[in-house]
Amino acid sequence: MPIASNKPRIVQVLDIKEESETVRSLIFRDDLCSKAKPGQFVMVWIPGVDEIPMSISMMGDQSLAGFTVRKVGEASKALFDMKVKNILGIRGPYGMPFTPIFGDVMIVGAGTGLAPLLPLAEILTQKFASINIIIGGKTLSEFVLVDRARKTLLKNNSEIIITSEDGSYGIKGLATDVMESILKKKYIDIIYTCGPELMIKKVFEIAQKFSVPIQASLERIMKCGIGICGSCCIGRYRVCKDGPIFDSKKLEEIIDELGLFRRDHSGMVTMIE
């Protein structure tokens, strides 16, 4: 009998990939996650600690799947510190995925924001897609998954541009500045983005200016992951069920909250710093 994605499963960490001093990818075996669509996420239970959402960053053969975690607080640090053979619980995959559009594509990502974007890029490159990917960050040590982006994209008619705010890697400046200069010269069918919410907001505003549709992956505190608790609300949407991928129309509806407010762990609406 097929397993329902809602059913919690116990998996073992099979492999760990060091992405940077603060980011690691954990590989495990799970049939459902290996068939997830780019942009979907999994709720990861770290025994004795917490349960947190993670984008599925790798869907592989032989039921392999993986996510890429940056240590920021207690639960993500506990995940980051996991060793091969440790166990964790997973449920999912959940959420609305990206819709692949095969054409002239722009991808704008930063940090672990590349985690859901790279499986999408991998699918796009299998058919036809000309991809301009702009990877932004503050400084060199923050960049992760760039080698994987290169391996994926340099196979076809694609361009990778790196921007860092302090000039320590690639072009000095913001990803959104480069994005705007490309859009002035080139027709783009669709923009996909994931990263800090203020960057997403800016990417959305520029996309609107050039009338290019966009799909953005948003992050909110999540407790249930399945639309019950309300902790992930943004406007009239629940990021876990209606997202995490938001298209231009939905982003337009939540523009008063995007990059400005979110709920904290207690459910209180707070300013995004």
Ligand X SMILES: Cc1cc2nc3c(=O)[nH]c(=O)nc-3n(C[C@H](O)[C@H](O)[C@H](O)COP(=O)(O)OP(=O)(O)OC[C@H]3O[C@@H](n4cnc5c(N)ncnc54)[C@H](O)[C@@H]3O)c2cc1C
* 267 contacts ligand FES (rule: CB under 6 A): no
Q: How far apart are CA 84 and CA 192, in angstroms?
A: 33
Nearer to ligand FES, 49 or 123 (CB): 49
DSSP state of 178: H
Interior angle at CA 42, CA 51 and CA 106, nearest 5? 130
Cis peptide before 97 (omega within 30 of 0): no
Residues making contact with ligand X (CB under 6 A): 41, 50, 52-55, 67-70, 72-76, 112, 115, 219-222, 244
| Helix-, strand-, coil-residue percentages of the chain, each rounded to 5 | 25, 35, 40
What does 245 interact with, of ligand X, ligand FES, none (CB < 5 to 8 A by kind)? none
Site for ligand FES in 184-243 (CB under 6 A): 222-225, 227-232, 238, 240
| Binding partner of residue 227 among ligand FES, ligand X, none, CB cut-off 5 to 8 Å per kind | ligand FES
Closest C-alpha among 31, 25, 27 to residue 63: 31
Radius of gyration over every alpha carbon of the chain, rounded to an integer in angstroms: 18
Q: Smallest distance, Å, CB 200 to ligand FES?
A: 18
Residue 75: contacted member of ligand FES, ligand X, none (CB under 5 to 8 Å, by partner type): ligand X
Minimal distance, residue 207 CB to ligand FES, in Å: 26
User: Which residues of this chain interact with ligand FES, rule CB under 6 A?
Assistant: 222-225, 227-232, 238, 240
